Structure 1
Amino acid sequence: MQAHWIKQRGHAHLVLFYSGWATETAEIARLAGDSDLLILSDYRDETFDPAWLQRHDRVTLVAYSMGVAVAARHLGNLRPDRAIAICGSTDPRLTIGEDIYDGTIVGLDLRSLARFARRAGLPKPQAPDLAALGDELRALKTRPAASPCVFDRIIAARKDRIFPADAMTAAWQGRPIDWVDTGHFPFGHWQDWQEITR
């Protein structure tokens, strides 16, 4: 994984953010809050470095999109104070649809990536590494799904065109879901991390 510190000021509280596939960090980094903020991405390798957490007394884990599945596999060892899943599931290939997921891998090029970004409501990736993005999807496909019961709060979007609302309802097996009236990338809906981590 890649770790990118957005805020590292020695605050006692850390927001540990598992980003989505092909997701730029600017819209996430703009959210207000005093806590330290670490963004994880690139899940070709899911190795977690415990040193990332050593200087923090409290950790709130927030996972988005494909990051939800990765975070779920880590939660048993991390034991954060709170864990929130946003617009993702612990078995993303099943929730997205196996044909769509596999077709994304096979047809991945600059045009299809731009089309994905539009559907997701994401900024168009700048200078993307297509080989790495493809390898990431292939790696995630081979890993086991974790239990959906490990998250404290689940947020999903009614207009999501990547993780559709009906599939999300099924994926979370009757768990309460906080719905937002947005597409797949809901971060423009919020101004402050507290709106997410409450």
Structure 2
Amino acid sequence: MKQQWLSRSGTDELILVFGGWALGAAPFTGLTGRGDVLFVDDFRHFDDPLPDIAQYDRVNLIAFSFGVASAGHWLAQTGFRPDRLIAVSGTLCPADPERGIALDMIRATADNLTEASFAKFCRRAGMNGPVPEIDLEAAQAELHAVIDRGGAPEVAFDRIWIPQRDRIIPTPAQEAAWAHQQAAVRGIATPHVPFRDGQNWQEWAA
């Protein structure tokens, strides 16, 4: 996993963000609020214990897109329990035709990945601004790791945000995936990337 501090001022509260595939920190750069923010992505392997989080009195984990399943696997592997756990635009079963994305579609995305196809993916996801830089080989390997790893162990989320215009992980698939945690679900009238400049981190953790 790769780590990047988006904000670090020495507070006692941490927002730990598990990002989505290949987009990096770009979807989150316009968010503001109190607390330190540690962004992690590139989930080919879960070989980093993130030792910096031990110093915080409170940790809220926000997982986005394929980062939701990655967070589920990481939590099961480490035994770490955040104070609040939030899922945005993702499920615990990423490579699943009914509760995620069809396996063949993920494999085709990996096998045919180019800078042009990635730019199209970003537009479909609802990204604003320039297309993030992409390491094609690493991005392909991460998609194959998602396929090989399979679904994450079941974990209870405190809040689950489901975009109603998601063209990446279909909205009905997300709704089916979270049917048993319906009390935590909130629908939002956004595309796959729902974050916008000026929003507060605490809005997503609410």
- Scaled to the shorter chain, the TM-score interval is over 0.9
The aligned residue for residue 201 of structure 2 is 193
Work out the percentage of aligned pairs sharing the same amino acid. 37
- Alignment partners' CA distance in 1, 2:46 and 2:60: 19
Q: Report the number of matched residues.
A: 198
Cα deviation, residue 27, structure 1: 3.7
Q: Paired residue for 2:72? A: 72
Checking the alignment, whether the CA contact within 8 Å between 2:110 and 2:144 is kept in structure 1 is yes
* Counterpart residue number, 1:103: 108
Task: Tell me, in whole angstroms, the C-alpha distance in 2 between the residues paired with 1:189 and 1:7.
Answer: 15
Question: 1:78 and 1:30 mapped to 2: Cα distance?
Answer: 28
Q: Cα offset for 1:30?
A: 2.3
Letter matched to residue 189 of structure 2 = D
Instruction: Give 1:64 shift.
Output: 0.1
Q: Which runs of 4+ in 1 moved over 3 A?
A: 123-127
Distance 1:73 1:143 in 2: 9
Name the aligned partner's letter for residue 111 of structure 1.
A
8 A Cα contact 1:118 1:124, kept in partner:
no
Alpha carbons 1:67, 1:88 under 8 Å: kept: yes
Task: After TM superposition, list the pairs within 5 Å mapping 1:47-196 onto structure 2.
Answer: 47-76=47-76, 77-94=79-96, 95-122=100-127, 123-176=129-182, 177-188=185-196, 191-196=199-204
Q: Where does the alignment leave 5 or more consecutive residues of structure 1 unmatched?
A: none
Q: Which amino acid aligns with 2:147?
A: K
* Corresponding residue of 1:33: 33
Q: For 1:114-149, what per-residue CA distance to the aligned partner results, in whole angstroms no more than 9, with x for missing partners?
A: 111110012553432101100111111111312343
User: Is this contact kept in 2: 1:75–1:150, CA < 8 A?
Assistant: no
Question: 2: distance between equivalents of 1:39 and 1:60?
Answer: 12
Partner SS, residue 89 of structure 1 = coil
Code of the aligned partner of 1:72: G
Note if contact 2:3-2:40 (Cα within 8 Å) is conserved in structure 1: yes
TM-score with structure 1 setting the length: 0.93
SS in 2 for 1:135: helix
Spell out, residue by residue over 1:66-109, the C-alpha distance to the aligned partner (whole angstroms, 9 max, x if none).
Answer: 10001011224110000000000111111112221111011111
CA distance in 2, matches of 1:79, 1:96: 27
Q: Could you tell me which runs of 5 or more consecutive residues in structure 2 were left unpaired when the two chains were aligned.
A: none
Q: C-alpha distance in 2, partners of 1:116/1:26?
A: 14
Counterpart CA distance in 2 for 1:117 and 1:175 is 29
Kindly provide the amino acid, as one letter, of the partner of residue 193 in structure 2. F
Question: Is the alpha carbon distance of 1:44 and 1:175 closer, same or farther for their aligned partners in structure 2, counting shifts above 3 Å?
Answer: same
Cα separation, partners in 2 of 1:154 and 1:142, compared to 1, 3 Å: same
Q: CA deviation at 1:43?
A: 0.8
TM normalised by structure 2 equals 0.90
